[in-house]
Amino acid sequence: MERKLAHIEKIETLTPIVGADKIEVAQVLGWQCVVKKGEFKVGDAIIYVEVDSIMPQTPEFEFLRERKFRVKTIKLKGQISQGLVLPLDGDIEKKYHLGKLTIGDDVTNILGIQKYLTPTEKEEVSREAIEKNRIKKYLRRYSFFRRLFSQKKKDKFPYWVVKTDEERIHNMPNVLLTHKEVDVYVTEKIDYQSATFTSKLMPRFNGFLGSLFPKRHIFAVCSRNLQVLDKNSLYWTIANKYNIEQILKKYPNLTIQGEQGDTNVQGNKYKLSEPKMWVFNIIDHAKGYHYDYDEMLKFCDDNGLDIVPLLHKCKLSDIGTSVQEVVEFSKGKSVIADTHREGVVIRCIKNGKKILSFKAINPDFLLKYDS
């Protein structure tokens, strides 16, 4: 499911900024955005554009040119602002013919907004584009072409695995009330690369013939969006370092997901001297069973893996009852290195079922590194 970068929401509150005469703070969902004073009223339906959106290079967004048309976390008059609030009426409505819209409607494609991509993500998108090449796809219907290019397309993300992408608390603020008494565990969110290692027992043949032979063990190494075939990549370096294929042969139908880093990844904020991975997710995908933190810790200890640092175990209400309190909670130093932590991931898993899971990003981290 593609991320909604721009959607219809409403202004929840408007709050003055101390020492500012021309701007104020608008709350949209759990986000706080600086807007021009008097431009909006509480209850107004608006277009909310999330951070990491790339706006089209058109006159109405010319004010973003210095930021390369990217919506980023910024600070104005001491106030953090995350996102862009646009009126539903006026020039934008006329130009894009928005018509009748309701709260929650996605207008990302209508406005021509693209997601900001890191260098790693750009590489993945480029590979996906090659796979979707229409001419190549058309020619593959002919046997001579398939013989010339016999390598099968194996870099599709495994269908049995859920991609790693936590929702931000800003987009689901109601859980702070509906789940306030839930027991949660809090881990540090690490800013490197998401990696997935998965195994599955598959029949060697279709139909009745498949029941006559032992199943084969499939092992896949994946980035956030694709299966990685390059054995010289960091993903395979990590797989080999931690003997993950051998581990998963002992635990078929298991998926291990983690954050991997090296000296040349994401500016090496955590000062690594060698490749390393921290596990944050283990799922028995055959049973739909999610490991809780204690189960992951035991698994990692038993198999020589590192795990994401645990920060707290508590009730959700102990962390905060508002988005702003949870964001404040996300601030602090990393326990891995002397730097701001990227944020926190908050989860509740009971008897193998994921009850709750979201992330809160540290704004101090974004202001320092999100250039």
Instruction: Name the average pLDDT for the chain.
Output: 88
Distance of alpha carbon 220 from alpha carbon 97, whole angstroms: 45
The predicted model scores a pTM of: 0.81
Residue 2 confidence (pLDDT): 66
Mean pLDDT of 134-143: 59
* Distances in whole angstroms, Cα of residue 6 to Cα of each of 258, 288, 366: 29, 32, 20
pLDDT in tens, 94-135: 777 777 889 999 999 999 999 988 766 666 555 555 445 556
Assess whether pLDDT exceeds 80 at residue 186: yes
DSSP class per residue in 303-327:
HT-EEPPEEEEEEHHHH-SSHHHHH
Token code pair at residue 246 = 């051998």
pLDDT score at 215: 75
138 token code pair: 């058309």
pLDDT given at position 151: 46
Find the mean pLDDT for residues 165-190. 94
Mean pLDDT of 44-48: 94
Give the sign of the dihedral formed by CA 30, CA 31, CA 34, CA 40: negative
Mean pLDDT lowest for which of 5-14, 62-71, 116-125, 173-182? 116-125
Average pLDDT over residues 302-314: 97
Q: 208-212, long-range: CB within 8 Å, 24+ apart, which pairs? A: none
Residue 144 pLDDT > 50, yes or no? Answer: yes
Best mean pLDDT range from 132-136, 167-171, 367-371:
167-171
Q: pLDDT-based confidence at 250, cuts 50/70/90?
A: very high
DSSP symbols for 22-40: SEEEEEETTEEEEEETTS-
Structure confidence at residue 210 (pLDDT) = 60
Cα–Cα distance, 4 to 356 (Å, whole number): 20
How many whole angstroms separate alpha carbon 2 and alpha carbon 225?
A: 12
Residue 252 token pair:
């078929």
Residue 208 pLDDT: 63
- What pairs with residue 270 in β-bridges? none
pLDDT confidence of residue 81 = 94
Has residue 257 got a pLDDT over 70? yes
Q: CA 313 to CA 347: how far, in whole Å?
A: 10
Are the CB atoms for 224 and 164 separated by under 8 Å?
A: yes
Q: What pLDDT sits at residue 204? A: 74
Q: Say what the pLDDT of residue 217 is.
A: 86
CA distances, 160 to each of 156, 218, 362 (Å): 11, 12, 32
* The predicted structure's pLDDT at residue 225: 85
* 196-228 residue pLDDT tens: 999 998 777 676 666 666 778 899 999 988 899
Instruction: Pull the structure tokens for residue 102.
Output: 């309701």
Taken in order 131, 132, 136, 139, the sign of the CA dihedral is positive
Residues forming beta bridges with residue 353, ordered by sequence position: 350
Q: What is the pLDDT of residue 93?
A: 75
Residue, of 364 and 89, whose pLDDT is higher: 364
Percent of the chain topping pLDDT 90 = 71
Over range 138-164, report the average pLDDT: 66
Mean pLDDT confidence for 293-302 = 98
Is the pLDDT at 141 greater than 80, yes or no?
no
Q: What is the pLDDT of residue 150?
A: 46
Q: Which of 97-101, 131-135, 139-143, 298-302 has the highest mean pLDDT?
A: 298-302
